[in-house]
Amino acid sequence: MSEIIGIWIAAGLTLCVFSFLYKDNLFYRFAEHLYVGTSVGYTIAQAWHQTVVKLVWYPIKQEGDYTVLIPAAIGLLMFSRFVPKYRWLIRWPLAFMIGVSAGASIPRSIQSFIFKQMEATIQPLNSINVFIIVLGLLCTLIYFYFSTEHKGAVGVASKVGIFFLMVSFGAAFGYTVMARISLLIGRVYFLFHDWLHIVK
């Protein structure tokens, strides 16, 4: 029973949101705020169960590891932003988080995003596709190279680079249209399949 009620509510809310297409109205506003409210409530509850309980409470209770309280306390300094006088304390948790991620990312970006990509590019020119890839990559890099005027040979290369970029953006454009349409299909399918049972 609760399943059926749930589907009817979900369908009703779906229609409320769709009503915005005609114009902004009371039903849409209601649904929008209901959504904002539930998503905030959702995050609070999940943050408690999935992070505080798992990463702080469990180690204390099961393993007697009280050291987790130190990072927990540093993390809580994040809330100092609401107390103007102690606002600077927020820098401590940020220093940890940002310092670690910046340091971790340098060698790993070089390894996975530069070396691996270079390795895949530096190949013998044994097919037309490899040639096109190398040409496209070099020209794209030249387009994003800001230390020379785009004149003469460099100008031609950067023009070729922009063509490659446009082909890529075109593909992304097509794919984005595809993505948005899929989302609509998903909702219409929900209405006709799960709710009205018209479509199998």
Residues 54-93 that bind another protein (CB under 8 A): 54-56, 58-59, 62, 68, 70-72, 74-76, 78-79, 81-82, 87-88, 90-93
What is the smallest separation between the CB atom of 32 and another protein, expressed in angstroms?
Answer: 8
Q: Which of residues 97-136 bind another protein (CB under 8 A)?
A: 97-126, 129, 132-136
Residues 5-44, mask of contacts with another protein (x by CB under 8 A): -xx-xxx-xx--xx-xxx-x----xxxxxxxxxxxxxxxx
- Among 21, 20, 41, 23, CA closest to 32: 20
Nearest distance in Å: CB 143, another protein = 8
Judge whether 83 and 70 are in contact, CB under 8 Å.
Answer: no
Burial letters 7-19, b for 16+ CB under 10 A, else e: eeeebeebebebe
Interface with another protein in residues 164-183 (CB under 8 A): 164-183
CB of 153 to another protein, least distance (A): 13
Phi, psi for residue 125 in degrees, rounded to 5: -80, 80
| 139 CB-contact burial (10 Å; exposed 0-12 / middle 13-18 / buried 19+) | buried
Least Å from the CB of residue 156 to another protein: 14
> Which tokens hold the place of 98?
């940002």
- Among 27, 51, 66, 153, contact with another protein (rule: CB under 8 A): 51
| CB count in 10 Å sphere of residue 90 | 16
Task: Say whether residue 156 binds another protein (CB under 8 A).
Answer: no
By CB under 8 A, the count of residues binding another protein is 149
